[in-house]
């Protein structure tokens, strides 16, 4: 993979990198995404409960 500075990339190359990263992020488990959303909304107790449910999986 080309490791040039991000500032040296063309807009098309930046878009391609973003799309590759986005594809990787979308493979996350929906429960992890839900816990992340709960935290962003300030529902920390609910997020912690959901994370506790995931602990045996990891």
Which of 6, 1, 57 shows the shortest CA–CA distance to 28? 57
Only one residue has tokens 């990339």, namely 9
Give the three-class secondary structure for 1: coil
Q: What is the pTM of this model?
A: 0.47
What's the DSSP call for residue 42?
A: T
Residue 25 has pLDDT above 60, yes or no: no
**Which of 4-8, 18-22, 29-33 is the most confident on average?**
29-33
Which of 22, 51, 23, 53 shows the shortest CA–CA distance to 36? 51
Residue 22 has pLDDT above 80, yes or no: no
Decide which of 50 and 27 is more confident.
50
- Residue 52's pLDDT is 86
Residues 39, 47 contacting (CB under 8 angstroms): yes
């Amino acid at each position: 993979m080309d490791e040039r500075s991000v500032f040296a990339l063309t807009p098309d190359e930046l878009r391609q990198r973003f799309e590759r990263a986005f594809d990787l992020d979308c493979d996350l488990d929906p429960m992890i995404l839900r816990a992340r959303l709960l935290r962003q909304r300030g529902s920390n107790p609910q997020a912690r409960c959901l994370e506790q449910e995931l602990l045996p999986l990891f």
